[in-house]
Amino acid sequence: MSTHTIAFIGAGNMATSLIAGLIADGHDPLHIRASDPDTDKLTQLAARFGVGMAEDNQAAVRGADVVLLAVKPQTLEEVARSLASVVQEQRPLVVSIAAGIREADLDAWLGGGVALVRSMPNTPAMVQSGATVLHATPEVSREQKDRAETILRAVGITQWVEDEDLLDAVTALSGSGPAYFFLVMEALEQAGRDLGLKSETAHLLTLQTALGAARMAMESRDSPAVLRQKVTSPGGTTERALEVLEEGRLRDLFRQALAAARDRSAELSRLLGGH
């Protein structure tokens, strides 16, 4: 059982998901504490998981090995500046899951020279099926990288990138990605209804087909392209449908969509920070 102490600053959905995953993985709840302005959230966390409640952010950070910042990006500067003195004194690993806040800005708000990991999780983390990408500053040790990865891996898969700027592309692909799949499911459902299927039938068939395709892709050594070819019989119905999608330049639309999301992510980082 892991015994290093983790302080969660913010007790929203993502923090709750991470705490649930950590405890399921064997982390001692007595070594997890949280702070949040919403005392009801803290009370619910303590009742559900047996974690500690801190009276304020600084109290949460004192004695912690890892500080996980799980607050809204718009409030992170204020929160980080209020923690600067205790972070400089304690020198914990700081992990941020706030979208769009660059390491240079967060490091400056925390007083400088901080061992900092910036991460980009996505919303399926709330059902332990997330995809999280991480980037570490030079101050982060190998052991601290392992700790950060262990925390985020509690809610899904993790990957590291060497260049922080790539997190804008990550935001475009996996951060925003669930919405793209929901849109595809929405469109398939509607198309099924238009072809005469009952709403419940179209809904269930769409969800199960999406789940089945994802599981096949995760469990197979074949690429999506090879899997697509394997389920496409020459001259059959699938081939005809795929021809329509290719003629509609579906691939180009996704390229344009991800590029637009990446650019917006970079723009928001400039607006939220000072670099």
What CATH number is associated with residue 161? Answer: 3.40.50.720
Q: In this structure, is residue 200 part of a structural domain? A: yes
| Residue 168 burial class via C-beta count within 10 angstroms: exposed 0-12, middle 13-18, buried 19 and up | buried
The residue ranking higher by pLDDT, 92 or 271, is: 92
Average pLDDT over residues 56-77: 95
Q: What's the pLDDT tens digit per position in 145-160? A: 999 999 999 999 999 9
Residues 214-235: what's their mean pLDDT? 96
pLDDT at 217: 96
pLDDT of 91 higher than 80: yes
pLDDT of residue 273: 80
What digits encode the pLDDT tens for the residues 102-159?
999 999 999 999 999 999 999 999 999 999 999 999 999 999 999 999 999 999 999 9
The answer to the question of residue 66 being in a domain is: yes
pLDDT for the residue 145: 97
pLDDT of residue 2: 62
Q: What percent of the chain has pLDDT over 70?
A: 99
Does a structural domain hold residue 60?
A: yes
164, 182: one domain: no
Q: Quick check: is 274 in a domain?
A: no
CATH number, domain with residue 238: 1.10.3730.10
User: Which of 81, 91, 94 lies closest to 7 in space, CA to CA?
Assistant: 94
**Structural domain containing residue 98:** 6-170
| 156 and 110, same domain (yes or no) | yes
Q: Identify the domain boundary among 170, 203, 236.
A: 170
Alpha helices in 33-95, H assignment, sequence order? 39-49, 57-61, 73-90
Domain boundary (170, 196, 228) is at 170
In this structure, the answer to whether residues 142 and 217 fall within a common structural domain is no
Q: Is 40 in the same domain as 125?
A: yes
pLDDT at 215: 96
* Same-domain check for residues 165 and 188: no
The tally of domains found in the chain comes to 2
